[in-house]
Amino acid sequence: MAEENKKVRRRWERMKDTYRLVIFNNETFEEVRSFNLSPLNVYVMLSTLVVLVSALAIAAIVFTPIKRLIPGYGTANAHPEMVKIYRDIDSLEQLVKAQERYNEGMKKLLTADVQYAPDAPPAKKPVEGNSHDPVSRNEADANLRNEVEMADIRAVTGQKVASPVNISPREVPLEQMHFSTPIGGTIMDGFDLEKKHLGVDVVAPKNTPIKAALDGWVISSDWTLETGNTIAIQHTNNIVTFYKHNSVLLKKTGNYVRGGEAIAIIGNTGELTNGPHLHFELWHQGKPVNPTDFVDFK
């Protein structure tokens, strides 16, 4: 035991031994600087330096954003602002996709690039006494359908409005509806599905106002390359009317118009025109119909 104590004491004494560190000029061999050092002093200085560097590194990680660069540091809950940004981006992406689908549908309607399914086969006559016999709709049912239709229109226009009083039920045939004349004039080109001419071209004097065929909401009032200044109006009874090639648009998207109210001025805008006229289209239940069967253009 005494021998071991002596060895430990010798090591400790050697740690305290003083050494001289001299720095010479390599060319003149002149002594520039000298230091008196011991192994214990060197050990203490190196330990202190390591502790200081470690403390600075830990402080930088804890108190600065540099910690986010460390893989696997923290959780999503530690960065609520990032979570909010990601949620906002996801919501914006969904809105953009919905707007793109809506724009694509409106583009097809405005350019007549529509592929519609053939008419469904006639329904079989119900068997007498069958529980599926058709039931006549009452006034409450008609009002409910009107409210649903107005909700659809509000969704398109983005406005909160009350339902007009004079709304026709969706079941009313087109033959029983009263259409105002959009413009009086001469029909130069008629309705032709084979040629994809889904409306009629009516020629009238310059600066003649174009009028709405029915009460409804303006769901599009814009300019396109092919049809120029164009207005689309959503009516009740699942009817949409289009007024194309106008020189001036008098109504904006979201406006509510009455039948016979001026909405535009006749013009010659767009590529698909060769003179001032109105191209008028009448769509019912998602399909184009011949406007001359229901509207008097004289």
pLDDT per residue over 196-216, tens digit each? 899 999 999 989 999 999 999
C-alpha span between 195 and 44 (Å, rounded): 96
pTM of the shown model: 0.49
C-alpha span between 47 and 54 (Å, rounded): 11
Residue whose C-alpha is closest to residue 221's, from 198, 247, 246, 249: 249
pLDDT value of position 279: 95
Domain ranges across the chain: 2-65, 78-111, 174-293
C-alpha span between 144 and 146 (Å, rounded): 5
**Mean pLDDT (the chain, rounded):** 78
One-letter amino acid at 258 equals: R
Q: How many residues does the chain have?
A: 298
Angle CA 190–193–196, to nearest 5: 90
- For residue 112, is pLDDT > 90? no
Q: How is residue 196 written in tokens?
A: 């994809």
CATH C-level class of 174-293: mainly beta
Residue whose C-alpha is closest to residue 118's, from 292, 287, 298: 287
Confidence of residue 152 (pLDDT cuts 50, 70, 90): low
